[in-house]
Amino acid sequence: MITVHHLNNSRSQRVLWLLEELDLPYTVKRYERHAKTMLAPPELRAVHPLGKSPVITDGEHTVAESGAIVEYLVNRHGGGRLAPAPGTPEHLRYTYWLHYAEGSAMPPLLLKLVFDTIETAPMPFFIRPIAKAISAQAKSQFILPQIKQHLDFMEAELAQRDWFAGPAFSAADIQLSFPLEAAAARANLKHGRPRLADWLARVSARPAYQRALAAGGPYDYAAG
């Protein structure tokens, strides 16, 4: 039996969705973030030394990192589902988008979250104007332009095909759901990007997506 070690408001939501799409049996072991620090509890270190989520256990195997988990589940349990045939152009795009989600799309969104937090964090009154000025400059000069570049890139890609890897929905779309839903919560994604807005509507309407959301519980993409 596959166990998903599920941290609230974390990227493990995608793993639940993938398992639902593959119709695989699984159990959920829940962990809660610290209310003030928002960090994962130390109990997760008993599962994986880094103590982060997502992580799954499947018999003798413990697999961490979202991309690695998606590849493991699709390759081991997918039976040819949710991945284009090897050696095809679609499979090459599938591999690219599977790793792009965390390698390129998420870093600027995480930076925005960090700098947004800095602006509202408790600090001496005389430090606040300096911190807010530094944050504003970092966001305007680097972070927000990077987010815009990535969102425009993905919008243009969806002008060429219905799904990121090709004409069929794949696990790459599942992997991309987190950065795009985070962008919708933290940035102006929908304005001027109708294809991304349509893609988000289509994925969130999938029955497996809805079942995963019910299994994982309420989710705040602005906090994850």
d(C-alpha 206, C-alpha 17), whole Å: 10
The residues spanned by each domain of the chain are 2-83+212-216, 89-206
pLDDT score for 120: 80
Q: Which fold has domain 89-206?
A: Glutathione S-transferase Yfyf (Class Pi); Chain A, domain 2 (1.20.1050)
pTM, to two decimals: 0.90
Q: What tokens appear for 178 in the block?
A: 């987190």
1-56 confidence digits (pLDDT tens): 999 998 876 788 899 999 999 999 999 998 877 767 667 778 888 898 988 889 99
CB 44 within 8 A of CB 55: yes
Angle of helix 106-120 versus helix 128-138 axis, rounded to 10: 160
Q: Within the chain, where are the H helices?
A: 12-21, 66-77, 89-100, 106-120, 128-138, 144-158, 171-186, 194-204, 207-216
pLDDT score, position 224: 47
DSSP secondary structure, 90-115, as one string: HHHHHHHHHHHIIIIIHHHHHHHHHH
pLDDT at 29: 92
Q: Is domain 2-83+212-216 given the CATH code 3.40.30.10 in the classification?
A: yes
Is the N-terminal amide bond of 54 cis, ω within 30° of 0? yes
Which regions of the chain are under pLDDT 70?
A: 9, 35, 37-38, 186-190, 219-224
Instruction: Record the tokens describing residue 97, joined without a space.
Output: 């988008």
pLDDT at 118: 82
- Residue 6: predicted pLDDT: 86
CA distance 206 to 212: 10
**Other CB atoms within 10 Å distance of the CB of residue 93:** 20
Sign of CA dihedral 23, 24, 26, 28: negative
Q: Look at residue 220 in the predicted model and tell me its pLDDT.
A: 66
Phi and psi angles of residue 90, each rounded to the nearest 5 degrees, phi first: -65, -35
Asked, colleague to colleague, whether 2-83+212-216 and 89-206 share their fold, the answer is no
Rounded to the nearest 5 degrees, what angle is found at the Cα of 104, between the Cα atoms of 23 and 46?
A: 55
Name the amino acid, one letter, at 70.
Answer: V
